[in-house]
A and B are shown apart, each in its own frame.
Chain A
Amino acid sequence: MFASKRLGKELTKIHQTLPPGISLVSASDFKEWQMDIKVLDANPLYLDQTYRLRFRFSNNYPIEAPEVTFITLSSPSRTVPTHPHIYSNGIICLDLLGTQGWSPVQNVESVCMSIQSMLTGNTKNERPPGNEEFVARNTQRPRDIRFVYEDATV
């Protein structure tokens, strides 16, 4: 519909300026982009680490939410941050990425900022409950998973 036009404009703006700790890695088309994020304060859990986010867009973006996950790479080294709402396979449990919580006024930059602040505020060095089982069994796409958002403070 208007996905490519809108993403084109987001990209223009991203090339001009991005908030500290967020950088664009690749955006060769309007299907998939990769972004790097860093936690800026001295949170010991994520100190000196950079994490890679993969955005996948459908043709209905921004009416539909993008699919956003952390990905693992060996070079440069990128791991999935430890967080009670992030599964070890990179799937993020964040209401704004779900069908219910998404709004078309969100954008790539605002999503990155939300994830960044979700890491900044975290003090628990743990995975979500049932992580191993979820990672072993889940075959659904992230946006189709019905997470229960139990704790709005993390």
Chain B
Amino acid sequence: MSHKAVALKEEGNKYFQDGDYKEAESLYSQAIQKDSTNPKIFTNRAMARLKLQSWDACVDDCIKAIELDHGSMKGYYYLAQAQLALNHPNEAFSSALTAYERCIETFDNSATAVSNLVLQAKKQKWEARERERIRGRSELLRELEDGLMKRKKEDLQRLKFKTLDFSEEAEEKADIELECRKKIEELRNIFAVADPKNMQRREVPDYLIDNISFTVMHDPVVTKTGNSYDRATVMEHLKRSHTDPLTREPLHMQDLRPNLALRQACEQFLTENGWAVDW
């Protein structure tokens, strides 16, 4: 049975490469009917379903593949992508992190792509928090504005009980309107100024930036020169040349040490400044 499954999978791969994801998915499904214990067929179908944007079905395949093989990097990688598309940032973040760990263990070529996915998930988490924050803030603002409007109405009501001639009444009305408008304007200004996002310049400190990719680091490692790089990008360089990027002295994968303090600094910065992922 299983050799038939493998043949069907191979055929599916051909369709996949030609961009016919629908047909590829159907061949992978037939392969799974013959052999439902091969995690690779599930991850292949998951990839086809990613292309077809069938996110939920992709999630199912990934979970199945991970059940069959806990070490499945691709299972977690595709799972994270689908979860990101479904706007489940917390789940996507944890799946992407697991995929990243698997990549590092096996020096997988996808390390930079997976590392980038971790950052994207982080950004989505930040965006969700930002939306909450802005919503909360504008609710408070609206409440205060409503209060001022109510007060204005009351003031206008009170005018009617005063004995004023026509022009005096018009004058007082205008004053009340003007004062209310001024207060609302000032209130809005205060809220705008108090919003740190309007004040802060969107800049990433140099020490959080990987000197190879020029992006914020997610897993910084330090070389013996004391310089830190993102693990995924320096790995790309070391595949080509076993040299320290700065001094060109010999440098090997096993010489790299994690820079935990810097990692925390990067994490904290991204927690507060999710936009920096795309910076």
Contacts and interface: CB of A to CB of B under 8 A. Distances in A.
Interface string A63-106: 11000000000000000000000000000000000011101110
Nearest to A96: B248
A5 interface: yes
Chain A binding surface SS class: loop
A70 to B, nearest CB: 25
A77 to B, nearest CB: 35
A62 B233 CA distance: 10
Closest 9 CB pairs of A and B: A104-B212, A2-B213, A9-B214, A105-B245, A103-B245, A6-B214, A105-B211, A104-B237, A63-B236
B112 A103 contact: no
B112 A62 contact: no
Given A1-B112, A105-B246, A62 B212 contact: yes
Nearest to B112: A1
Nearest to A102: B241
B237 to A, nearest CB: 5
A2 B246 contact: no
Contact of A2 (B112, B240, B248): B112
Interface string B183-216: 0000000000000000000000000000111110
A6 B246 contact: no
A1 B235 CA distance: 13
A10 interface: yes
A25 to B, nearest CB: 22
Interface residues of A, number: 15
A6 B245 contact: no
Contacts of A63: 212, 236-237, 240
B215 A105 contact: no
Nearest to A106: B245
Given A1-B112, A5-B215, A6-B214, 17 more contacts: A2-B213, A2-B214, A2-B233, A5-B213, A9-B214, A10-B214, A63-B212, A63-B236, A99-B240, A99-B241, A100-B241, A101-B248, A103-B237, A103-B243, A103-B245, A104-B211, A104-B237
A66 to B, nearest CB: 14
Contacts of A101: 248
Given A104-B245, A105-B245, A1 B236 contact: yes
Contacts of B236: 1, 63
A5 B210 CA distance: 12
Contacts of B214: 2, 5-6, 9-10
23 contacts: A1-B112, A2-B213, A2-B215, A5-B214, A5-B215, A6-B212, A6-B214, A9-B214, A10-B214, A63-B236, A99-B240, A100-B241, A101-B248, A103-B243, A103-B245, A103-B246, A103-B248, A104-B211, A104-B233, A104-B245, A105-B211, A105-B245, A105-B246
